[in-house]
């Protein structure tokens, strides 16, 4: 019994150590997360339509006139802001993932921007989740 308890303690410690090490990857963010904010989803406006210079916590930089993507400095600012909306390693506590997800799929009850992701199987939702889990590719 004591041995079992010790084993459980060891497993618990290593699991939390892994979690603490989760680092959000900037390169992954730029290549795979930012494009999601620009993408048009059926029946929904792009995230950027409402979240560029918005007055809630999800505030993206304004795209330079005529530009299709943010410049490096802006992407770094976006990274900082968006990072504050997630708990690295813990998608279930990450506002970025819950706010635009349909409540039936475990998302938050209300988002003025709609239920952009009908389920956790949406490939873009999965990409956001992978980023929160510290994926680099
Ligand atoms: C039609 C406008 C609109 C669109 C499009 C939209 N949102 Fe929102 N979003 C809002 C508004 C307004 C709020 C603040 C009030 C609320 O939560 O409804 C908000 C809140 C949020 C929050 C919480 C911010 C906070 O202050 O805690 C997150 C995260 C978020 N949205 C993510 C997204 C993502 C990701 C997309 C695109 C997939 C998106 N939103 C698209 C309007 C929009």
pLDDT tens track for 58-88: 999 999 999 999 999 999 999 999 999 999 9
Q: How many helices (H) and strands (E) does the chain have?
A: 7, 0
Position in ligand 1 atom list of the atom nearest CA 56: 26
Q: Does 62 map to a domain?
A: yes
From 58, 118, 120, mutation site for ligand 1 pocket: most ligand atoms within 8 A of C-beta: 58
| Confidence band of 137 (pLDDT split at 50, 70, 90) | confident
Percent of the chain past pLDDT 90, that is, above it, reads 84
Q: Does 40 map to a domain?
A: yes
Q: Does 57 map to a domain?
A: yes
- pTM for the full model? 0.88
Q: Is-contact 48 63, C-beta < 8 A? A: yes
Q: 51 CB under 6 A from ligand 1?
A: yes
Q: Does 16 map to a domain?
A: no
Q: Does 111 map to a domain?
A: yes
Q: 99 CB under 6 A from ligand 1?
A: yes
- Number of domains comprising the chain: 1
Reported as a single tens digit per residue, the pLDDT across 105-125 is 999 999 999 999 999 999 999
Q: Please give the C-alpha separations between residue 112 and each of 56, 58, 115, 129, in angstroms, as whole numbers.
A: 11, 13, 9, 21
Residue 93, pLDDT above cutoff 70: yes
Rounded Cα distance, 47 and 41, in Å: 9
Q: Does 64 map to a domain?
A: yes
Q: Does 37 map to a domain?
A: yes
Q: Does 11 map to a domain?
A: no
Can you give the residue range of the structural domain that contains 46?
A: 23-132
């Amino acid at each position: 019994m004591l041995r079992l308890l010790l084993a459980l303690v060891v497993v618990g410690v290593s699991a939390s150590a892994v979690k603490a090490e989760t680092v959000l990857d900037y390169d992954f963010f730029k290549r795979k997360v930012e494009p999601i904010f620009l993408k048009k989803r059926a029946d929904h406006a792009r995230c950027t339509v409402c979240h560029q210079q918005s007055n809630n916590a999800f505030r993206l930089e304004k795209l330079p006139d005529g530009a299709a993507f943010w410049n490096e400095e802006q992407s770094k600012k976006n990274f900082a802001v968006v990072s504050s909306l997630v708990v690295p390693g813990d998608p279930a506590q990450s506002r970025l993932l819950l706010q635009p997800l349909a409540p039936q799929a475990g998302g938050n009850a209300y988002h003025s921007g709609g239920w952009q992701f009908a389920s956790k199987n949406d490939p873009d939702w999965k990409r956001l989740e992978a980023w929160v889990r510290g994926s680099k590719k």
